[in-house]
Amino acid sequence: MRKGIKILVYSISSVIVVAIVLITYVFTALPNVDPPKDMQVQITDSTVARGEYLAYHVMMCADCHGSRDFTKFSGPPHPGTEFAGGEVFDQSMGFPGRFVSANITPFGVSDWTDGELFRLITEGVTKDGDAIFPVMPYHQFGQLAGEDVEAVIAYLRTLEPVETDHPKSKADFPFNMILRTMPTAAQLVEKPDTADRANYGKYMFTAAACADCHTNFEKGKPVGPLAGGGREFHFPDGSTVRATNLTPHETGTGHYTREGFINLFKRYVDSTYVLPDVKPGEFQTLMPWYMYAGMKENDLGAIYDYLQTLEPYDNAVERFTPRK
């Protein structure tokens, strides 16, 4: 009897020791990425202009790092909140914690070096060595050209500081441990020539993080073909929206011409168009149409050209389910 108790005590003690070692490793050795680079971003008119374009209309920095108005179709940022942070992604939307987008105006990042910002954008690690939740698509941004990431940083440096007091993000247990395992080293590339339509389109597809929403995921892992659609996003009111199929199947983008695909976006910048009001429970989308509409036609067309190279995938997506 005593021997059995001793074995049980030893077993429990061993489990506790292993757990302590594991937790210590996770919170001291991870994320396993290199220190930030010692770098100085050059702020020129052309660099700032490129950064502004990317931040507003491609990489969606202004959108996610603002406060979105979901009383309007596609949830455009409340005017004046762009880059000031405050958008909440929490358990009511299916997230494993409460994550608040940061203020990335100079008020929020003036004490960050350019290298620290570069590492954050491309590898998902803060200046203090913490991992950020990948609703910020750093895995995609880490596959861009370094010059484009630097352009965004240059633009952020020119913004007017906006004072805010947002609460810190907090991941639920045990995801707070899993989160620290997710950052990986950036795999930066050379920006393709715009004449190489499909390859340049793939680059812009990556910069716009299209795959993050339009590829189906389960438990944080892709479970369907790239851009095959079907990923679910939950609104706090209980309704669900699903990302559409972007492959060139007839259930996806196969029935669109290049011009028609471009016009899907450009209709939102028509001077006569007004974003409609949306009440809780009515059809809504997380797709920031109003922001993407400012993308250059050449870039949108290149994305279309790239999508045509994907394997067609038969997936007719039910786009929206209201609260039951």
| Beta-strand runs (E) in the chain | 88-89, 97-100, 170-171, 217-218, 221-222, 232-234, 240-242, 320-321
How far apart (Å, rounded) are the C-alpha atoms in residues 8 and 272? 74
- The pLDDT, as a whole number, for residue 223 is 86
Q: If pLDDT is split at 50, 70 and 90, which confidence band does 25 have?
A: very low
- Residue 268's closest CA among 282, 287, 253? 287
Q: Of the given ranges (18-27, 238-247, 266-275), which has the lowest mean pLDDT?
A: 18-27
Whether residue 238 is found in the same domain as residue 265: yes
How much is the average pLDDT of 290-294?
Answer: 95
How much is the average pLDDT of 112-126?
Answer: 98
Q: If pLDDT is split at 50, 70 and 90, which confidence band does 278 have?
A: very high
The domain boundary residue, chosen from 135, 157, 191? 191
* Global confidence as pTM: 0.92
The domain boundary residue, chosen from 148, 170, 191? 191
188: its two tokens? 């930066």
Domain that holds residue 212: 192-324
Is 35 part of a structural domain of the chain? no
Q: Which residues lie closer than 8 Å to 321 by C-beta, 6 or more apart?
A: 239, 240
The domain boundary residue, chosen from 164, 191, 218? 191
pLDDT of 162 above 60: yes
How many structural domains comprise the chain? Answer: 2
**Cis ω for the linkage preceding 31 (within 30 of 0):** yes
Whether residue 229 is found in the same domain as residue 178: no
- The pLDDT, as a whole number, for residue 9 is 55
Whether residue 210 is found in the same domain as residue 181: no
Is 305 part of a structural domain of the chain? yes
Whether residue 182 is found in the same domain as residue 229: no
Is 321 part of a structural domain of the chain? yes
pLDDT of 89 above 90: yes
Q: Of the given ranges (71-80, 143-152, 268-277), which has the lowest mean pLDDT?
A: 268-277
Whether residue 167 is found in the same domain as residue 226: no
φ/ψ (deg, to 5) at 180: -75, -15
Whether residue 297 is found in the same domain as residue 233: yes
pLDDT digits (tens, 9 = 90+) for 59-76: 999 999 999 999 999 999
Whether residue 222 is found in the same domain as residue 317: yes
pLDDT digits (tens, 9 = 90+) for 185-223: 999 999 999 999 999 999 999 999 999 999 998 877 788
How far apart (Å, rounded) are the C-alpha atoms in residues 53 and 152? 9
